[in-house]
Amino acid sequence: MVAVRYLISHPDALAELGDLDVALYDGSQPVPDNLDEVEFYAVPYGVIDPRFCEPIARMPRLKVVQTVTAGYDHVLPYLRPGLTLANGRGVHDAATAELAVALTLAARRRLPDFVRAGSEGRWTSGWSAGLADARVLIVGYGSIGAAIERRLAGFEVEISRVARSSRPGVRPISEVSEMLPQADVVILATPLTPETEGLVNKDFLATMADGALLVNVSRGRVVDTEALLAELNAGRLHAALDVTEPEPLPADHPLWSAPNVLISPHVGGLTAALAPRARRLLVDQVRRYAAGEPLANVVIGPQLSTAGQPTTS
């Protein structure tokens, strides 16, 4: 039986890495029988499924877990001390930023209202808020947040930025309550962490301006669903959500019928832009590891100085 050192989830990347001991596992086939020599495991992309993380426990020589997703909260319960976790930062920037802007435009221009009227054969005209001159607050200014700003550049909006820590042009999350009353649109692009879970709670929402739009392309658990429902049902806020809590959203969940809400089913990264970016990331990361070079996108150490030899970063 051939020993496998690199178990990856992208067939095109597999072809480029044919000179290495690499095998494919994309979640659509059984897990390979022999995992004893696997050192680098790329978790299959798709619906978050614990079956994709469970093989980690069967890899005694594992050093690196790589996700193709930017979020990695679903992997954390399966990690053991000493493993390096790298995420898919950059892979989903283009697609997720597109959807964030699309949701914002659709909600601000009342497209759902017009689509519903059209399906009933009704010509329903009317004014909308539009996007030009809006004040947009991006909460979570990482690579996706920056990609959202680039795509908003031509819409004549005023952009403010918040991140975990401050830097030039970006204020710390601790100051977000001061910025919310001035924002017409609040776009959530923050990762799910213990600090951001439930960040958008009753107080956060109450601080938002009347008529403001909340756009969530991060994780559903960043938002307190019950608190958001209260604001939507009161008619005070609008929301456009690609992620929800719970998820998938049950057919009888009150969010579906709440006023002023647009919901897409967690499709932020699902465009043709995903495959080539995922391939480039996986090929680059495996090559780095094989050459003993530092990995990109490390979110949990130790880092690697030589293949299979962990050192602290």
Q: Using one digit for the tens of pLDDT, what is the confidence trace for 80-91?
A: 999 999 999 999
Average pLDDT, integer, range 102-118: 96
Residue 172 in this model has a pLDDT that exceeds 90: yes
Checking phi first, is residue 90 left (phi over 0); if not, alpha (psi -120 to 50) or beta?
left
Q: Angle at Cα 79 formed by Cα 246 and Cα 250, nearest 5°?
A: 10
3-state secondary structure of 187: strand
Residue 3 in this model has a pLDDT that exceeds 70: no
User: pLDDT, tens digit, for every residue of 27-55?
Assistant: 888 888 889 999 999 998 865 667 889 99
DSSP string, 251-262: TT-TTTT-TTEE
Average pLDDT, integer, range 74-102: 93
Average pLDDT, integer, range 270-276: 90
Phi/psi at 224 (5° precision): -80, 105
Give the single-character DSSP code of 55: G
Counts for the chain of helices (H) and strands (E), in that order: 8, 15
Of the listed ranges 113-127, 231-245, 295-309, the one predicted with least confidence: 295-309
Q: Structure pTM?
A: 0.86
CB contact set of 41 (below 8 Å; sequence gap of 6+): 7, 55, 56, 59, 62, 64, 65, 66
Residue 306 in this model has a pLDDT that exceeds 60: no
H helix runs in the chain, sequence order:
11-16, 93-108, 111-119, 143-152, 176-179, 202-207, 225-233, 274-290
Which residue type is seen at 71? G
Residue 10 a catalytic site member: no
Parallel/antiparallel/unpaired status of strands 22-24 and 6-8 = parallel
Give the distance from CA 28 to its chain's centroid.
22
pLDDT for the residue 309: 37
HSE-CB of 82 using CA atoms within 13 angstroms: 10
pLDDT for the residue 308: 39
